[in-house]
C-alpha cells in the first residue's frame, strides 16, 4: 500500500479545488464519469471480491458481490436515472406579498468532498458516497480504510483508471492520515465509522466549519412480537446478523422477544446455522473477523458474560485452535445479558446476538428508548397497529419492518443516523442534496411593489396595511 504523508494533503486538496474552480463538471461530464465508473467496477468484480477476501482472511465472493458490488452498481444506476431531473432548478412559492417575483432552489456543486470510509464494506461505503459527490458535480478526496489494504489498493487503481487525479484523489495511510483529512478546509466531509471516532472527526472539522455527513453505529434492536412466526423471524434475523459475520453497522445488535418463546427461538436459530453452514467443517460461506484486535474484542465480550454466569450458547462447534488461527467466531447467542455487560453497552459488530425476554411490548419499548437512538430498527409483527405503535415511540436512523438490512438497499430512501448513530443522510436524492448547495434565488420582475417601500412612509399607509393583513 502506498502511504500518503499527512503533510502532502493540503497540496492534494489545492489541486482538486483549483481544477474544480477552473472547470466545474458539466452534466454530460458527470454522466460520463458515472457510466465509466460503473463499467470499470463491473468488469473487475472478481478482482474486488478476491481483494476483500484476502483482507478478511476469508469472505464468500457472493457476499462481496452482493454487498460491495450490486449495491454500488444499483446506486450508480439510480444516480444516472435521476441526475438531470435533480439538477434542474426547483420552483418554489415566493408568497403573494412578493408577487410578481418568482423563486427557485438551484442545486449547485459544493467543490471538494472528502470521504473517509471504513473496512466492513470497503467498496460500497467508499464508492456510493463518492459516486453521489460526482453526480452532484464535485471533486472527491477518498481516504479508504487502512484495515483493508488490498481493497484500498484496488480502489486506488480502479479510480485512477476512471478519473484524472485532479478530479478524484485517493490517499492511503493510517489514523494520522484520517485525522489530517478531517482537519482540511473541505466543502463537505462524509465519514462512516464508530460513534467515538465520529466525535473526533466532528471536532476536527469544526475548525473550518466543514459540513458533515456522519454515518455512525450503535445498538440496533429487533423486536419479535407475539404474533410473528418464529421460523420466519429467525431466518430473517439470521441473515441480517450473520451476513459478513455481523460486521455490519445496521446488523441487528440484540433481539427482544416474549419470554414464552425465547428458548424456542434460540433452537430455531440453531437450526438456521445448520441449514446455512453445516458443521463448519469448511465454512466457505461464512466470513472471518477482520483482524486480531476485533476478534479478541469479541471474545472478551463472551468471556465477561461467562464470568458473570450469563448463558452463552455457541450455535456451532469448532476447534479452539482453528477458531483462533482463522479468526472464526461462530454464531453465538447470549441469553438475557444485563445492561452493565460490555456487549450491552457497545455496538457488537460481530456474530454475537443477545436475546432478551420481555414480559410485554411496553417493557420492550422502554428498553429501547432508554438507550441512544439506534441506526436501525427491526420490528417484526403482522399487526399494523403494533408496528405503528413501535414506530411512534422509537426514533431510529432507518427501519425495515419484518426483515433486516434492506432499507439500506432501497436507493430512494435516505440512509443516515440520528443522535449518537449519525448526522445527515445520503443515498439517492438525499445524498445529492447533501453534497450540493440548494441555492435560493429570487427573480424580481420589471415592476414590483418593493419599489414603493421607501420613505416617506406616510405615502404607503394603504400598502403597509395590506402587507400586514
Confidence of residue 439 (pLDDT cuts 50, 70, 90): very high
Neighbouring C-beta atoms of residue 444, cutoff 10 Å = 13
| Residue 215 a catalytic site member | yes
Task: Tell me, yes or no, if the pTM score tops 0.75.
Answer: yes
Measuring CA to CA, how many Å separate 145 from each of 142, 195, 423, 432?
A: 10, 16, 21, 24
**Spatial separation of the C-alpha atoms in residues 307 and 313, rounded to whole Å:** 14
Helix (H) / strand (E) containing 150: helix 149-162
| C-alpha R_g of the chain | 25
Q: Read off the pLDDT band of 456 (50, 70, 90).
A: confident
How far apart, in whole angstroms, are the C-alpha atoms of residue 403 and residue 378? 7
Q: What is the pLDDT of residues 388-426, one digit of tens each?
A: 999 999 999 999 999 999 999 999 999 999 999 999 999
- 2-7 long-range contacts, CB within 8 A, separation 24+: 2/153, 2/156, 2/172, 3/172, 3/173, 3/174, 3/177, 4/171, 4/172, 4/173, 4/177, 5/173, 6/173, 6/176, 6/177, 6/179, 6/180
pLDDT confidence band for 448 (50 / 70 / 90): confident
> Among the options 31, 146, 179, 215, which is catalytic?
215
The whole-angstrom separation of Cα 273 and Cα 295 is: 20
Is pLDDT above 90 for 453?
no
Q: Helix (H, G, I), strand (E, B), or coil: what is residue 72?
A: helix
Amino acid at each position: 500500500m502506498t502511504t500518503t504523508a499527512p503533510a502532502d494533503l493540503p497540496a492534494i486538496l489545492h489541486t482538486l479545488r483549483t481544477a474544480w474552480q477552473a472547470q466545474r463538471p458539466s452534466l454530460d461530464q458527470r454522466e460520463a464519469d458515472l457510466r465509466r465508473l460503473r463499467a470499470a467496477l463491473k468488469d473487475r468484480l472478481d478482482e474486488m471480491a478476491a481483494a476483500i477476501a484476502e483482507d478478511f482472511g476469508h469472505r464468500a465472493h457472493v457476499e462481496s458481490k452482493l454487498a460491495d458490488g450490486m449495491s454500488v452498481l444499483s446506486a450508480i444506476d439510480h444516480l444516472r436515472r435521476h441526475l438531470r431531473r435533480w439538477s434542474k432548478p426547483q420552483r418554489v412559492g415566493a408568497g403573494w406579498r412578493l408577487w410578481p417575483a418568482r423563486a427557485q432552489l438551484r442545486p449547485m456543486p459544493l467543490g471538494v468532498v472528502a470521504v473517509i470510509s471504513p473496512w466492513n464494506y470497503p467498496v460500497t461505503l467508499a464508492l456510493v458516497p463518492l459516486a453521489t459527490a460526482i453526480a452532484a458535480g464535485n471533486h472527491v478526496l477518498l481516504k479508504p480504510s487502512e484495515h483493508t489494504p488490498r481493497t484500498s489498493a484496488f480502489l486506488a487503481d480502479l479510480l485512477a483508471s476512471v478519473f484524472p487525479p485532479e478530479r478524484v484523489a485517493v490517499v492511503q495511510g493510517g489514523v494520522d492520515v484520517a485525522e489530517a483529512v478531517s482537519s482540511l478546509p473541505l466543502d463537505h466531509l462524509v465519514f462512516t465509522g464508530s460513534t467515538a471516532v465520529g466525535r473526533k472527526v466532528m471536532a476536527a472539522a469544526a475548525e473550518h466549519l466543514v459540513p458533515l455527513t456522519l454515518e455512525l453505529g450503535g445498538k440496533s434492536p429487533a423486536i419479535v412480537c407475539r404474533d410473528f412466526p418464529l421460523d420466519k423471524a429467525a431466518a430473517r434475523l439470521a441473515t441480517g446478523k450473520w451476513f459478513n459475520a455481523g460486521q455490519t453497522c445496521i446488523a441487528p445488535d440484540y433481539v427482544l422477544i416474549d419470554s414464552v418463546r425465547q428458548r424456542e427461538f434460540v433452537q430455531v436459530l440453531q437450526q438456521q446455522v445448520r441449514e446455512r453452514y453445516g458443521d463448519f467443517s469448511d465454512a466457505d460461506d461464512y466470513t472471518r473477523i477482520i483482524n486480531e484486535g476485533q476478534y479478541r474484542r469479541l471474545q472478551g465480550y463472551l468471556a465477561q458474560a461467562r464470568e458473570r454466569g450469563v448463558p452463552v450458547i455457541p450455535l456451532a462447534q469448532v476447534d479452539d485452535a482453528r477458531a483462533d488461527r482463522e479468526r472464526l467466531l461462530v454464531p453465538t447467542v447470549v441469553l438475557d445479558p444485563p445492561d452493565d455487560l460490555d456487549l450491552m453497552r457497545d455496538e457488537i459488530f460481530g456474530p454475537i446476538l443477545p436475546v432478551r425476554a420481555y414480559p410485554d411490548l411496553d417493557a420492550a419499548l422502554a428498553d429501547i428508548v432508554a438507550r441512544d437512538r439506534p441506526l436501525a430498527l427491526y420490528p417484526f409483527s403482522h399487526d399494523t397497529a403494533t408496528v405503528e405503535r413501535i414506530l411512534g415511540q422509537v426514533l431510529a436512523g432507518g427501519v425495515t419492518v419484518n426483515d433486516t438490512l434492506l432499507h439500506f438497499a432501497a436507493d430512494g430512501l435516505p440512509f443516515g443516523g440520528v443522535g449518537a448513530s449519525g448526522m445527515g443522510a445520503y443515498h439517492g436524492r438525499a445524498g445529492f442534496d447533501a453534497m450540493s448547495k440548494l441555492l435560493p434565488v429570487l427573480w424580481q420582475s420589471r415592476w414590483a411593489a418593493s419599489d414603493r417601500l421607501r420613505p416617506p412612509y406616510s405615502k404607503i399607509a394603504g400598502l403597509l396595511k395590506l402587507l400586514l393583513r
